[in-house]
Structure 1
Amino acid sequence: MSAPEKPRLLVSFDQYLPYVSSEQTGALWKLAEERRQLDANLIRLPPDGGVAAHVEHALDVLLLVVAGDGQLDSDGEQLALAAGSVVWLPRSSRRALGAGAHGLVYLTVHTRRPGMSVVGTAASAVTVREGGEAPCSLDRVCPECGTMRAEPGAPFCAWCGERVSAAG
C-alpha cells in the first residue's frame, strides 16, 4: 500500500504568470497529479477573445478569474468578471465567455472526467468506454484535452481553452 498523499503547494499564479509569454493563449497550466479526483486548468483568452456558447452536461465547474476582465453570458444574462471573481457554472447551464480589452486569465476546477477502464481478468479483459460520441464527430474533439467541442466552428476548446482548428 502506498503512502497517503500530502498537501503541497503546486503553483503560485502571481509568481508564475509573469514568466509566461503574454502572447501565449489557451491552457497555461494543468493539474497533473496522478491519483487526483479533480481537474484544474489555467486558461488565457486573448484580448476580445472568447469561448463560444456551450452546455456542459456532465460536470459543475468552478471558475476563478486570476487576471484581466471579461464577461460570462448565460442565456442572455451577462455577468461582469474581474480578477478575484469566483463563478459557479452548474452542469447543464448554457455559458459563453468573453475577454475584455486586456484578455482574461481564469482557473477552472471540476471533478475529473471518467476515462476508459479495463474490467475483468487478464484472459477476459474488456475495454469499457464511458460516454463518447460517434466516430463521425471526431473532427470536433479537442486534440489537447479530448473534449467534444460544443460548436463545430468554435476557435477555442470550451473546456481547456486551447486554440483548435477552425476547420471543424
Structure 2
Amino acid sequence: MAAEDDGSPDTAGPPLPRVLCDTAQLLSPGGDAPAGALWRLAEPARQLDANVVRLPAGGRVDTHTEPDLDVLLLVLDGAARLESADGGHALRAGVLTWLPHGSTRAVLAGPDGVTYLTVHRRRPGMRIQPPEAAARLRRSLGGGDV
C-alpha cells in the first residue's frame, strides 16, 4: 500500500508533512492479515525506508546480520521473540527495539503472529561503475584480476 500521491508538491515551496497510512486499518481482527509486507514507504526523495510486516503464528525472520544499517522495530500487534547474541527478548505491542548495525538477530512470531514497523536509513541505489572499478575491488579483496 503506497501513498496516494506521487510525492510532488502541489505548490512551490518546502515539502509538507502528510498522513501515509493508518496502521490500525492494516491490522485485521482475528489475525487474518496476510503475511509479508503490508505497507512500504515509497515516497520519492525520501531519506528513510519503512515497512509494516506481518509474520503469521510460528513465522520467523531467520538469523541474519545487518552490516550497514541500524533498524528500529516497533511491535504494532501480537507478540514475538527477538533472538540475539545476548539471548532472547520478548516483544509485544508497544515495545520499541533498536537493532544496531552489526548485530545478529532473528524474529520468531508468537502464537497469534506479530505485526511490526521497521524504520531505517534508506540504502543508496546501485550505481553503474566503469569496468575497471570491478577489477580494483577484486584486487582490494585479494582476488586479483580475472
User: What TM-score comes out, normalization by structure 2 length?
Assistant: 0.75
Distance in 2 (CA, whole Å) between partners of 1:4 and 1:38 is: 18
Partner of 1:51: helix, strand, or coil?
Answer: strand
Which residue number corresponds to residue 101 of structure 1?
111
Which residue number corresponds to residue 61 of structure 1?
71
Q: 1:81 aligns with which of 79, 84, 91?
A: 91
CA RMSD after TM alignment: 1.8
Which residue number corresponds to residue 38 of structure 2?
28
Residues 116, 128 of structure 1: 8 Å contact kept? no
Q: 2:57 aligns with which of 12, 28, 47?
A: 47
Displacement, 1:9? 1.1
Residues 69, 103 of structure 1: 8 Å contact kept? yes
Displacement, 1:76? 4.8
What letter corresponds to residue 128 of structure 1 in structure 2?
Q
Partner of 2:24: helix, strand, or coil?
Answer: helix
Question: Where in structure 1 are there 5+ consecutive unaligned residues?
Answer: 118-126, 130-168
Size of the alignment, in residue pairs? 118
User: What TM-score comes out, normalization by structure 1 length?
Assistant: 0.66
What letter corresponds to residue 102 of structure 1 in structure 2?
D
Question: Where in structure 2 are there 5+ consecutive unaligned residues?
Answer: 1-11, 131-146
1:1-168 correspondence to structure 2 within 5 Å:
3-18=13-28, 22-117=32-127, 127-128=128-129
What letter corresponds to residue 66 of structure 1 in structure 2?
L
Distance in 1 (CA, whole Å) between partners of 2:122 and 2:95 is: 23
Partner of 2:28: helix, strand, or coil?
Answer: helix
Distance in 2 (CA, whole Å) between partners of 1:63 and 1:39 is: 12
- Shift in alpha-carbon separation, 1:9–1:55, aligned structure 2, 3 A: same
Partner of 1:14: helix, strand, or coil?
Answer: helix
Distance in 2 (CA, whole Å) between partners of 1:115 and 1:56 is: 17
The one-character-per-residue Cα deviations of 1:33-92 (angstroms, maximum 9, x if unpaired) are 001000000000110110111000010000000000011000151000000010000000
